[in-house]
Structure 1
Amino acid sequence: MDIDRNQTSGRKKEIKPDILREFQVSFFAMSRLVSFPWTYLEKDLESNTSSDLISNILKQTCLHSLCRKFPPSVRFRKLFLSELIKREAAGCDPLDELYDALAEVVGAEETTECYKSYLLPSGDAVSLLENVALISEGTTGLVTWDAALHLAEWALDHQQAFTGRTVLELGSGVGLTGITICRSCSPHRYVFSDCHPRVLQKLQNNVELNGLMEQTTPAVSVEELDWTVVTEEQIQQIRPDTIIAADVVYDPDLVESLVKLLSKILRCSSPEVLICSTIRNQETYSGFKQQLERAGISCRVITEPVSHVFPHNRASSVEMIQLYR
């Protein structure tokens, strides 16, 4: 799923590739429309009446081959095209392909699932089937959350932490972090895990969707892992060198079983353990750290900034910690 960064026409010297890239990245990740670089487009239209820039934006988004294969939600595409039309109508010559694209999406049926694609620095895309609703079927695990994106960005900055290693991910959700690591960091083996049946099915589908089951390196598996019943023998069978988890500290009822699992892991082996959390409730997160301390587990907050690869809410409070005995 290679993304062509130079698929432009017309005024190539005047169209900034980074603006086209920003529209593309934001579109495929279904970012909030207010976050798109509309101001640049409006300024461009103030100075000339050509529709070249809008045409190029359209080619990099709704008319791109990735959109044909893994389209964002119907509602999102309608809103995006409406924003383009609003600006086109105010400042440049009519563009037939823009209205053709809207007509096509208006006739499409809305579903409860859609694709989000996260573009990697290599030009590849991680495409995921996610639920449109943030909470669905009694779980939050059917969408990608900010902590998963932050952890994936950290991994891209620290690929050596995963290269040649066996990685176990707890609470993999729809799979963004793990698929990014498998694509970019060359682990020896990667174990995705979760316990909710629907999440596991969606996770399995996304791993297959991104071609990870078709390759031998890394060796990839998707496994059911119930934190309340997992044994030390199961952990020893996996023999993880690195354990990661993103956005698993959100429910006080789950924190106790998570800490018990981490205690078992650190008792029977000595992997590197990295937990990334969006702090929505300070009391819940502080309670997690207190339980870690009572279990004899220390933590170090990882404070270095990460490269901004994926669009997500940078204002949310995200903390990443390394655990050790």
Structure 2
Amino acid sequence: MEPSELSRTPDGEIRNKTDILRDFQVSFFTMSRLLSFPWTFLEKDLESNKSSDLISDILKQTCLHSLCRKFPPSVRFRRLFLSELIRREAADCDPLDELYDALAEVVGAEDTAECYKSYLLPSGDAVSLLENVALISEGTTGLVTWEAALYLAEWALDHRQVFTGRTVLELGSGVGLSGITICRSCSPRRFVFSDCHPRVLQALRSNVELNGLTPPSVGVEEVDWTAASEEQLERIGADVVIAADVVYDPDIAGSLVKLLSRILRGSSPEVFVCSTVRNQETYGGFKQQLDQEGISHRVITDAVGRVFPYSRDGVIELIQLHTTAAQ
């Protein structure tokens, strides 16, 4: 292998050209920050080879890939990405026609409030989601994928036995990343996505269908934490309950805790809650309310395989819940 096809990361890991191309592809389809892309490897390759071959290969794995044709990232993101490739194109090489053709496609295109993000699984399959470009839209944060959902999905991929052959209920599913990943990779017997915001439920149903998941093994239900009936919970009959990024508002934490208490004292499922700890007071208050309801928790400290690109700078905590009597 040529030296130019190898690169060493800051922690000493050696990456080859195939790894770099996958890094570009994974980051592109999740619309990661452009600064996070492995541009240094590309620049070194251009310096040593004086060829646009690697740029051509990157294009084939991103803008010209069939996944981009079917589920394209936002127009603005593709425009910025292509501009960065052009900026780095070797000055003494012939211009790459397909690069400028791809840019021409998006220069005059109109951007929209929604776009697709695709999260590549270790199997090579992809979870494609229609998400909102704004973090908060239509009065909800549920139209985008948050870090705790990505972390929970990674943990699930490492612990598939927790979900295989079982009925899973997800509370606050949002756009569906964690649940769809579990459905595609962990073989649950039945999976029930849930939320309560009408617009989120609409987006959730669309994404579930988009990824080829259908009844009766998969369902989407409205579950209002303050009004869920015993009949609904018994009908679902969950063996496993999961929730990601649902502990961010102290005003609704109490309703969540009371619902979790009812679920745990009903069919006694395994319950996992994953949270990005943005406000220690809010998160601590949630745990305090768990204690008051007689629910204990165990922090799961297993390392997870890094599958999806996202910021890992913040504190993400996964806990398993138990009724005190069950311990």
- Identify the residue that residue 299 of structure 1 maps to in structure 2: 297
| Cα distance, 1:277 vs structure 2 | 0.2
The aligned runs of 1:154-193 (5 Å cut-off) are 154-193=155-194
SS of structure 2 residue aligned to 1:274: strand
Find 1:255's aligned residue among 244, 250, 253.
253
1:70 and 1:316 map into 2 onto residues whose CA distance is: 29
Q: Which moved more, 1:224-233 or 1:195-204?
A: 224-233
Is the partner of 1:268 in helix, strand or coil?
coil
Residue 89 (structure 1) shift: 4.5
Matched residue type, 2:301: T
CA deviation string 1:207-250 (max 9, x = no partner): 0000001x76xx00000000001122221111100000000000
SS state of the match for residue 165, structure 2? coil
How far did 1:16 drift?
1.2
Q: CA deviation at 1:90?
A: 4.4
The aligned residue for residue 154 of structure 2 is 153
Residues 1:133 and 2:134 are matched in the alignment: yes
Q: Which residue of 2 aligns with 1:227?
A: 225
* Matching residue's letter, 2:62: T
How many angstroms apart in 2 are the aligned matches of 1:92 and 1:118? 33
Give the Cα–Cα distance (whole angstroms) in 1 for the partners of residues 153 and 200 of structure 2: 19
Misfit runs of 4+, over 4 Å: none
Give unpaired runs (5+ residues) of structure 2: 6-15
Amino acid at match of 2:140: T
Counterparts in 2 of 1:31-42, with a 5 A limit?
31-42=32-43
Q: Distance in 2 between matches of 1:247 and 1:90?
A: 46
The residue type paired with residue 229 of structure 1 is: A
Who is 1:4 aligned against? none
CA distance in structure 1 between the aligned counterparts of 2:91 and 2:34, rounded to whole angstroms:
18
3-state SS, counterpart of residue 32 of structure 2: coil
SS of 1:47's partner is helix
Aligned residues: 311
On the 8 A contact 1:45/1:91 being kept in 2, the answer is: no
SS at match of 1:319: strand
1:93 Cα deviation from its structure 2 partner: 3.3
**What's the secondary structure of 1:212's corresponding residue?**
coil
Q: Percent identity?
A: 78
1:19 alignment partner in structure 2: 20
Letter in 2 for 1:323: L
- After superposition, residues 75-90 of structure 1 pair within 5 angstroms as 75-90=76-91
**Which residue of structure 1 lines up, in the alignment, with residue 208 of structure 2?**
207
Measured after TM superposition, the shift of residue 48 of structure 1 is 1.6
> Which runs of structure 2 are paired with 1:64-75 in the superposition (5 Å)?
64-75=65-76
How far apart, CA to CA, are the structure 1 residues paired with 2:295 and 2:260? 9
Is residue 45–residue 92 contact of structure 1 (8 Å, CA) maintained in 2?
A: no
Q: C-alpha deviations, 1:164-216, integer Å up to 9, x for none?
A: 00000000000000000000000000000000000000000000000001x76
Counterparts of 2:240 and 2:93, CA distance in 1: 54
Q: Distance in 1 between matches of 2:69 and 2:23?
A: 19
Q: Deviations over 1:138-172 (max 9, x none)?
A: 00000000000000000000000000000000000
The 5 A counterparts of 1:232-311 are 232-311=230-309
